[in-house]
């Protein structure tokens, strides 16, 4: 039997990390449900839907165009929590998967490699006609043309809205079912299926689940442990604990 760390994770064990908006908050990206969570008076549940896009495409495109511009402006940079997860990815000898709900690219910029964007990516656009996905750094407008099928006005942000199926679920659920450690960092536990990931770990009956947040969330009771505090402090500390044991 491999030795276990103080966290009781075998060095060849599997770690699955779920991140949410809270991990990017200290980089200057607003969260969805915090005090600054409204956009021009709209709740995300009202704007981030295919129905809203069909009804008011300009409004929804503007929502994402503004976020894309801010992400590329240079002020928003990966923080110590993103860096610590990239270090864990690079040095953990066992299986590792980082599933992020965030559509920013801060995990990639920090150096994470074993990464899945379950709610899509802001710097990509998808054609509603042919499904082609393109890297995209400019504003998306009604004039934009898909370079795959040449259709005009059919490009939308490559993101997952309410009622749409998140990306990579099969891989995520398989990893969760065999996880020895599950970390949920900076997510409010309001949005499914991500909010149910901890339940998959519990049902499998082998993994330790730790919630890392500024406060205990609605899902707190499902976790084995809480680490309360800003992600830039709690995540580097936990990664150091894990890497010290290998």
Catalytic positions are 119
Q: How far is the CB of 104 from ligand BJW (least distance, A)?
A: 8
177: its two tokens = 């079912």
Residue 221 makes contact with ligand BJW by CB under 6 A: no
By CB under 6 A, which span of 7-15, 21-29, 90-98, 131-139 interacts with ligand BJW?
21-29
By CB under 6 A, which span of 52-60, 89-97, 138-146, 157-165 interacts with ligand BJW?
157-165
Please say which residue, 122 or 144, places its beta carbon nearer to ligand BJW: 122
Distances (CA, A) of 121 to 83, 87, 223: 19, 22, 28
Residue 166 makes contact with ligand BJW by CB under 6 A: yes
Residue 199 makes contact with ligand BJW by CB under 6 A: no
The residue within the footprint of ligand BJW, chosen from 115, 211, 213, 242 (CB under 6 A), is 213
Residue nearest to ligand BJW (CB): 22
By CB under 6 A, which span of 14-22, 51-59, 136-144, 202-210 interacts with ligand BJW?
14-22
User: H or E element: which one contains 225?
Assistant: strand 225-228
Number of residues that bind ligand BJW (CB under 6 A): 38
Of 186, 156, 135, nearest to 63 by C-alpha is 156
Q: How far is the CB of 30 from ligand BJW (least distance, A)?
A: 8
CB 173 within 8 A of CB 182: no
Q: In what order do the strands lie in the sheet with 208-213?
A: 115-117, 96-100, 15-19, 181-185, 208-213, 225-228
Alpha-carbon span 98 to 184, nearest angstrom = 10
Residue 210 makes contact with ligand BJW by CB under 6 A: no
Q: Phi/psi at 113 (nearest 5 deg)? A: -120, -45
User: H or E element: which one contains 218?
Assistant: none
Alpha-carbon span 43 to 229, nearest angstrom = 26
Residue 193 makes contact with ligand BJW by CB under 6 A: yes
Residue 236 makes contact with ligand BJW by CB under 6 A: no
Q: CB-side exposure of 212: number of CA atoms within 13 Å?
A: 24
The residue within the footprint of ligand BJW, chosen from 17, 103, 179, 219 (CB under 6 A), is 103
Residue 17 makes contact with ligand BJW by CB under 6 A: no
Alpha-carbon span 234 to 23, nearest angstrom = 11
By CB under 6 A, which span of 29-37, 107-115, 132-140, 146-154 interacts with ligand BJW?
29-37
Q: In what order do the strands lie in the sheet with 155-159?
A: 133-135, 120-127, 155-159
Q: Which residues bind ligand BJW (CB under 6 A)?
A: 20-22, 25-26, 31-34, 37, 44-45, 48, 101, 103, 119, 159-166, 169, 186-188, 190-193, 213-215, 217, 230-231
């Amino acid at each position: 039997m491999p030795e276990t760390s103080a966290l009781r994770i075998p060095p060849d064990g599997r770690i699955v990390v779920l991140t949410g908006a809270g991990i990017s908050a200290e980089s200057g990206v607003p969260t969805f449900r915090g005090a600054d969570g409204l956009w021009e008076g709209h709740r995300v549940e009202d704007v981030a839907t295919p129905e809203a896009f069909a009804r008011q495409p300009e409004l929804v495109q503007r929502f994402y165009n503004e976020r894309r511009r801010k992400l590329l402006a240079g002020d928003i940079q990966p923080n110590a929590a993103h860096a610590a997860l990239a270090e864990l990815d690079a040095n953990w000898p066992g299986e590792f998967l980082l599933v992020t709900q965030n559509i920013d690219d801060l995990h990639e910029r920090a150096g994470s490699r074993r990464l899945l964007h379950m709610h899509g990516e802001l710097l990509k656009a998808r054609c509603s006609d042919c499904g082609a996905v393109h890297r995209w750094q400019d504003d998306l407008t009604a004039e934009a043309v898909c370079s795959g099928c040449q259709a005009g006005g059919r490009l939308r942000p490559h993101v997952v809205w309410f009622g749409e199926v998140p990306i990579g679920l099969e891989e995520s659920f398989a990893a969760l079912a065999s996880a020895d450690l599950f970390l949920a960092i900076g997510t409010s536990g309001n949005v499914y299926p991500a909010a149910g990931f901890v339940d998959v770990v519990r049902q499998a009956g082998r993994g330790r689940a730790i919630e890392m947040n500024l406060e205990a969330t609605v899902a707190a009771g499902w976790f084995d442990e809480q680490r309360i505090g800003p992600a830039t402090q709690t995540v580097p500390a936990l990664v150091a604990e894990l890497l010290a044991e290998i």
